[in-house]
Structure 1
Amino acid sequence: MQIWLLPPGLLLVGLALYDALYTTLGRGGGPLTKQLSRGAWLFTQSQTGQRVSGFFFSQLGLVVLLLAIFSWTVLLWAGWTLVFLASDGAIVSATTGAPAGLWSRIYFVGYTLVTLGLGDYQPEGAVWQMLTTTASLSGLILLSLAISYVLPVLQAAVDRRGTAAALWGLGETPEEIIRTMWDLDRGCSAFEQHLVGLTPALTTLAQQHLAYPVLHHFRGSRRREALAPSLAALDEALSIAEHGLSGDCLSPGAFHPARAAIDTLLDRLEDQSTGPSSEAPPPPSLDGLRRDGYPACSDEAYHEALREDVCDRRRRMLLGLVEGEGWDWDHVLDGYDD
């Protein structure tokens, strides 16, 4: 008898099911999944010399997703193995009645969890028969949860790339967004329309990142598919419109919901990344807009406004997010697509 194996075995089973349930039900990820996602993020931070377009980085989201499911399976398998090792006579051969060895019990737990029911080994006694049924049920639950989790995560990854492409379509740089959306003759009604249309998508994306922590690792390998630099370009364009250009172009009804959606998304992403950069990035220049007749403010007033606490922290968060996804701030200001 090795009854002392029973508590740690049940603990591992409980941890696997709790983490799987908490994660797949959209509560923000269980403790194991959060640590796995965080570890993957920190690992990518240590690989700063690699290109963001590399195969590993483009497949990182799928790798982390599969690792999460694999970790649940290993924990559940290991936990039930310890449970059935707690008694020498728990599992016996169906033909000879001899107690099963270690590898036979591992094998028994494996086919029990996937409900194969091969029958060459069987539980001995009512207690172990009930525990076998419970193990089979837990395996069925885990398999169902894993399948139901993969599909919405992959759909959310498609939505993330779609939102990034929509942001890219507004303009490749903050200055280009202003020029595209703000016509000096007809005003910036087009800018407001696009902001109103993008706000629900950004809000939904923030909630998807909260529900599926692994979504943060589904990164675009090309600039036009990358969320972080395009999101930063849009936010910088909003900062130009708010602090760098005189006059009230954007109405509060369009501007404030869009900025709030960006802030909410950044809050969600901050929980899964290394946080804000230590210093704010360089602001976009107003020289080109000023030269072409846009009502630009003085550089002193513009830079002073960007140094305000709320604006400074948001820009540092954007820089940390951009660099964390393998890009640099030049991709925001220059917008070139590799």
Structure 2
Amino acid sequence: MAETLLILGFIILLLAIHDFFYTTLSASGGGFISENVAILSDRIIQFGASTFGRKAYDYHGLFVNLMILFVWLLLIWLGLFMVYSSNPEAITNSSGRAAYNWERLYFTGYTLSTLGMGNFKPTSPFFELVTSCFSFFGFIFFTSSMTYFLSVSSAVVKKRTLAKSIYNLGKNPKAIAKKILALDSSYSYQQIHDLQEKVDQHSVNHQAYPVVHFYSRSEGKDCFSINITRLDEALSILFYSDKGQNLQEELELLRSSISNFLQNLDKNFSRSLPKVEGAHSSEDLPLGLTARNSQELVERRRTLESLLKSEGFSWRQVVEQNQIN
């Protein structure tokens, strides 16, 4: 029993610590634990939004972030408690009495929080070393968590800035396309280049800090999904319109940036995105496209519609007509 608790405790600790450092320091995505906690938390928020309305989306990313932090802390606390519990005499109070279970749980907590109360102490070199290591780890855990959350906050601000920049161009794809065409050519190039940089930056942040994906807003004008979909649809309009030929090179760069983002979505967030049944008919496609590349656009729209549904939107809220008059 003692060996089982010791081994199981260290396994839980190793899994939680690996997931923590991989998620916060690797900038390569989330670990297995944090990814699954995020998906579960997302489903809770989706249920809340369907029950209480869109206001629940204002707490979306915050709830997911706090749940991941809570699970990390819970697993590390549990694992270390099991290690201490492998030997009933491992922890004693100031008078030498062996600690009870709840007292070992208390000792584990203040060891991780680096409080150093001193009313309980380890009794052997092994447990003294374990206590020292996890006191040091507790400091790293909380400082790294705060640094990670600051990075996430910065990425969320940039995500919302991108959404707002697109919204300011127009409230539907047709309006965005017209606005780009109406601008002076040099300013159009600058505007498209600026959007490309923001999309690329968001794509990198989205992959480095996956929890950014779950930050949403109750108001559509501030939501990333509906605005990036409008922009992509506007690009489809411009690509297959004679009026957009002068901007083809710049539009292709922006389109490529959005494509890279959508590929990242398909690769890393397919489990958290709602499934989309069926596909858009050719009647919904931009003029000049139905005879070529229609399947590519249908697949593109399927990914975008999944993103829309993740924030409680439908395709009809994006656009009703995609032609330039």
| Same fold at TM > 0.5 | yes
Q: Which residue of 1 aligns with 2:247?
A: 251
Q: Number of residues paired by the alignment?
A: 317
**Displacement after TM superposition at 1:40 (Å):** 2.9
The SS at the match of 1:117 is coil
Q: Which residue of 2 aligns with 1:331?
A: 317
Q: Which residue of 2 aligns with 1:274?
A: 273
**Displacement after TM superposition at 1:269 (Å):** 2.8
The SS at the match of 1:251 is helix
AA paired with 1:16?
Answer: A
Q: Distance in 1 between matches of 2:188 and 2:292?
A: 22
Which residue of 197, 200, 204 corresponds with 2:197? 200
The SS at the match of 1:229 is helix
Q: Distance in 2 between matches of 1:307 and 1:51?
A: 38
Q: Does 1:234 align with 2:231?
A: yes
Q: Does 1:209 align with 2:196?
A: no
Q: How does 1:219-230 map to 2 (within 5 A)?
A: 219-230=216-227
AA paired with 1:132?
Answer: T
Q: Does 1:153 align with 2:152?
A: yes
Q: Which residue of 2 aligns with 1:86?
A: 86
**Displacement after TM superposition at 1:13 (Å):** 1.1
The SS at the match of 1:110 is helix
AA paired with 2:54?
Answer: S
Q: Distance in 2 between matches of 1:51 and 1:304?
A: 44
AA paired with 1:39?
Answer: L
Q: How does 1:290-329 map to 2 (within 5 A)?
A: 299=287, 301-305=288-292, 307-308=294-295, 310-329=296-315
Confirm or deny: 8 A CA contact 2:274 2:310 kept in the other structure: no
**Displacement after TM superposition at 1:121 (Å):** 0.8
Question: CA RMSD of the aligned region, Å?
Answer: 2.4
Q: How does 1:47-196 map to 2 (within 5 A)?
A: 49-50=50-51, 53-54=54-55, 56-95=56-95, 97-183=96-182, 190-196=187-193
Q: Distance in 2 between matches of 1:275 and 1:267?
A: 16
Confirm or deny: 8 A CA contact 1:174 1:284 kept in the other structure: no
Distance 1:49 1:119, change over 3 A: closer
The SS at the match of 1:314 is helix
Q: Distance in 2 between matches of 1:172 and 1:320?
A: 20
AA paired with 2:307?
Answer: L
Bigger drift between 204-213 and 133-142 goes to 133-142
The SS at the match of 1:49 is helix
Confirm or deny: 8 A CA contact 2:274 2:309 kept in the other structure: no
**Displacement after TM superposition at 1:167 (Å):** 0.7
Q: Distance in 1 between matches of 2:130 and 2:115?
A: 16
CA deviation profile, 1:255-287 (whole Å, cap 9, x unmatched): 12101111122223332232662333468979x
Q: Distance in 2 between matches of 1:38 and 1:28?
A: 14
Q: Distance in 1 between matches of 2:94 and 2:204?
A: 51
Q: Does 1:34 align with 2:35?
A: yes
Q: Distance in 1 between matches of 2:161 and 2:65?
A: 20
**What stretches of structure 1 of length at least 5 have no aligned partner?**
287-296
Q: Does 1:265 align with 2:251?
A: no
CA deviation profile, 1:217-260 (whole Å, cap 9, x unmatched): 111221111111111111111111112x2365243430121011
Q: Distance in 2 between matches of 1:284 and 1:232?
A: 18
CA deviation profile, 1:151-170 (whole Å, cap 9, x unmatched): 11111111111110001111
Distance 1:201 1:276, change over 3 A: farther
Confirm or deny: 8 A CA contact 2:122 2:128 kept in the other structure: yes
The SS at the match of 1:38 is helix
Q: Distance in 2 between matches of 1:265 and 1:37?
A: 20
**What stretches of structure 2 of length at least 5 have no aligned partner?**
none
Distance 1:199 1:152, change over 3 A: same
AA paired with 1:102?
Answer: N
Confirm or deny: 8 A CA contact 2:282 2:290 kept in the other structure: yes
TM-score (norm 1): 0.86
